């Protein structure tokens, strides 16, 4: 074991997000290559100054929520930096090369401060959609051109050009970020599809206990209200389907109210946060998704791994995950009637359903299988210290399925 991979994130790895699914899988699979991999996050923060600062942050939030968000980011960065210093010193004392793998620009900025003091490699993965600043606006946490929005943009601008490598999970995000930040032209980068843990065998159709499932934070960007409207329109056409919504978020109460207003509340189960939510997909017939923008959508890969047809809009990187009319349908978010027709077709035509389900499983096995992708990820992350699994090496213009490099 001569390499240490330290994942740096503002998230603690215990939540339901695709980001956490990603880095938990990277850590788990790195161990299989005899790589010392671990997570550093702001939690727990066993420092008195951090506790005092968070009390001040709560007070500031009552006066200025956005500047309180900036203060919170500063606190988290200082906590992470303190932890990293100790871990990097220990790793290098044992003669190990160190890679700091940042999950967001703020984490990358902390990692880059460590790079000024220690010999280490900094890699940043772009999980966010368009920009962190835009995501904050979509979540309602920041106003466009406000202080938190400007802070997020500045952090991205300062961090991205200085990292040793950028990894994008879709060609869509590569194009968006590179066009917005032309100063990244000389930064080494790769596009590599996300991977998931090994799925269980798809369950037989007789085991289904619900029709549709959607997994994701209940927030405006995820647009679960669209799913409720499709459910209601199908009911008007004499088709009564059930929908399971997995996830928590600020839209939870509003979605429950909308379900009652549409008369489908008895068809919808709000399951809240579920640990390892992907295990629930096998108990449903179709996976549905309605996000307005998505960098990739790792949950769609989980659905195909379970052999389920997918209905999702062709936005962001989703069109790179599955093909329209092959593994599912790209349904229109601006046309509930057409979307409802597509849903009814999939659920009422056994031959169509079987064809889509079979193609979904094949797409997972040929495009997203973890055994195929994990060495791409680890070699990209660790550079010259990465594994050379199965003779594969990172190539400048990568040709393997799901991996492209520059």
CATH code, domain carrying 375: 3.40.50.2000
What is the structure's pLDDT at 52?
Answer: 67
Band of residue 204 on the pLDDT scale cut at 50, 70, 90: low
Query: Looking at residues 269-283, what average pLDDT do you find?
Result: 94
H or E element: which one contains 370? Answer: helix 370-382
What order do you get walking across the sheet with 121-126 strand by strand?
Answer: 36-40, 3-8, 97-102, 121-126, 165-168, 189-192, 403-405
Same domain, 60 and 163: yes
With a cut of 80, say whether residue 202 has pLDDT above it: no
Percent of residues, the chain, with pLDDT higher than 70? 90
Q: Is 67 exposed, middle or buried (0-12, 13-18, 19+ CB in 10 A)?
A: middle
Tokens of 143: 């106003």
Beta bridge partners of 329: 311
Structure-token pair, residue 165: 């490598």
> Which whole number is the average pLDDT over 341-358?
98
Domain-located, residue 99: yes
Same domain, 222 and 359: yes
How many domains, the chain? 2
- As a whole number, mean pLDDT of residues 332-349 equals 98
pLDDT in tens, 210-258: 899 999 999 999 999 999 999 999 999 999 999 999 999 999 999 999 9
Instruction: Indicate if the pLDDT at residue 397 is higher than 70.
Output: no
Same domain for 85 and 225: no
In a domain, 293, yes or no: yes
Mean pLDDT of the 378-384 span: 92
In the numeric block, which tokens belong to residue 313? 């809009």
Is 135 found in the same domain as 12? yes
Indicate if 132 and 43 belong to the same structural domain. Answer: yes
The model's confidence at residue 20, banded by pLDDT at 50, 70 and 90, is very high
Q: Are residues 158 and 249 in the same domain?
A: no
333 is a domain residue: yes
Same domain, 127 and 272: no
- Helices (H) and strands (E) in the chain — how many of each? 13, 13
Q: How confident is the model at residue 76 (pLDDT cuts 50, 70, 90)?
A: very high
Domain carrying residue 394 = 3-195+369-405
Q: What is the pLDDT of residues 123-143, one digit of tens each?
A: 999 999 889 999 999 988 999
End-to-end Cα separation, the chain, in angstroms: 28
Residues 130 and 28 in one domain: yes
d(Cα 20, Cα 304) in Å, to the nearest integer?
Answer: 19
- Mean predicted confidence (pLDDT) in 59-64: 83
Confidence of residue 108 (pLDDT cuts 50, 70, 90): very high
The model's pLDDT over 161-192, given as tens digits with 9 standing for 90+, comes to: 999 999 999 999 999 999 999 999 999 999 99
pLDDT over 70 (residue 403): no
Q: pLDDT class for 371, splitting at 50, 70, 90?
A: confident
Q: Of 47-56, 194-203, 358-367, which range is least confident?
A: 47-56
Q: What is the pLDDT of residue 199?
A: 73
What is the average per-residue pLDDT within 275-286?
94
Residues 187, 176: Cα–Cα separation, whole Å: 15
The reported pLDDT for the residue numbered 207 is 61
What is the per-residue pLDDT for 44? 84
- Separation of alpha carbons 405 and 355, rounded Å: 33
77 found inside a domain: yes
Dihedral of CA atoms 121, 127, 133, 137 in degrees, nearest 10, equals -160
Look at residue 152 and tell me if it is in a domain. Answer: yes
For residue 267, the 8-state DSSP code is G
Does pLDDT of 62 surpass 90?
A: no
Mean pLDDT of 310-314: 98
Residue 74 has pLDDT above 90, yes or no: yes
Outline where DSSP puts E strands in 70-170.
97-102, 121-126, 165-168
**Position 57 confidence tier, pLDDT thresholds 50, 70, 90:** confident
Does one domain contain both 189 and 263?
A: no
* Alpha carbons 72 and 58: distance in angstroms, whole number: 9
Is pLDDT larger for residue 39 or for residue 52? 39
Q: What is the pLDDT of residue 200?
A: 62
Read off the pLDDT of each residue in 88-117 and give the average, rounded to a whole number: 97
**Is 185 within 8 Å of 218 (Cβ atoms)?**
no
Residue 200 lies in a domain: no
Domain assignment present for residue 383? The answer is yes
Whether residues 245 and 363 fall in one domain = yes
Same domain, 293 and 345: yes
pLDDT of 401 reads 37
Examine the domain organization and report whether 36 and 157 are in the same domain.
yes
């Amino acid at each position: 074991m001569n390499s240490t991979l330290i994942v740096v994130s503002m998230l603690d790895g215990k939540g339901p997000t695709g980001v956490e699914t990603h880095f938990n899988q990277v850590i788990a699979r790195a161990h299989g290559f005899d790589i010392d991999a671990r997570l550093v996050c702001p939690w727990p923060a066993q420092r008195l100054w951090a506790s005092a600062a968070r009390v001040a942050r709560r007070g500031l939030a009552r006066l200025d929520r956005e500047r309180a968000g900036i203060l919170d980011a500063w606190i988290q960065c200082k906590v992470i930096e303190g932890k990293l210093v100790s871990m990097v010193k220990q790793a290098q004392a044992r003669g190990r090369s160190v890679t700091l793998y940042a999950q967001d620009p703020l984490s990358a900025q902390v990692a880059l401060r460590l790079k000024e003091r220690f010999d280490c490699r900094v890699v940043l993965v772009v999980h966010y959609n368009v920009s962190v600043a835009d995501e904050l606006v979509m979540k309602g946490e920041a106003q466009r051109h406000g202080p938190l929005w400007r802070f997020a943009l500045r952090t991205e601008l300062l961090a991205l050009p200085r990292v040793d490598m950028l990894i994008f999970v879709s060609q869509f995000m590569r194009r968006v970020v590179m066009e917005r930040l032309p100063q990244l032209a000389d930064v080494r980068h790769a596009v590599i599809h996300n991977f998931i843990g090994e799925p269980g065998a798809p369950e037989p159709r007789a085991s289904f206990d619900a029709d549709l499932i959607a997994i994701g934070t209940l927030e405006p960007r995820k647009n679960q209200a669209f799913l409720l409207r499709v459910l209601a329109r199908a009911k008007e056409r004499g088709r009564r389907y059930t929908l399971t919504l997995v996830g928590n978020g600020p839209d939870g109460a509003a979605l429950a109210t909308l379900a009652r207003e549409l008369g489908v509340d008895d068809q919808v189960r709000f399951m809240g946060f579920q640990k390892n939510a992907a295990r629930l997909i096998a108990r449903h017939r179709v996976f549905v998704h309605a996000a307005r923008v998505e960098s990739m959508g790792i949950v769609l890969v989980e659905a195909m791994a379970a052999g389920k047809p997918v209905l999702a809009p062709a936005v962001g990187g989703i069109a790179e995950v599955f093909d329209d009319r092959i593994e599912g349908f790209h349904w229109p978010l601006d046309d509930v009637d057409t979307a409802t027709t597509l849903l009814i077709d999939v659920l009422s035509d056994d031959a169509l359903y079987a064809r889509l389900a079979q193609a979904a499983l094949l797409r997972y096995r040929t495009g997203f299988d973890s055994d195929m992708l994990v060495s791409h990820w680890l070699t990209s992350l660790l550079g010259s210290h990465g594994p050379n699994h199965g003779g594969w090496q990172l190539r400048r213009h990568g040709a393997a399925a799901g991996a492209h490099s520059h």
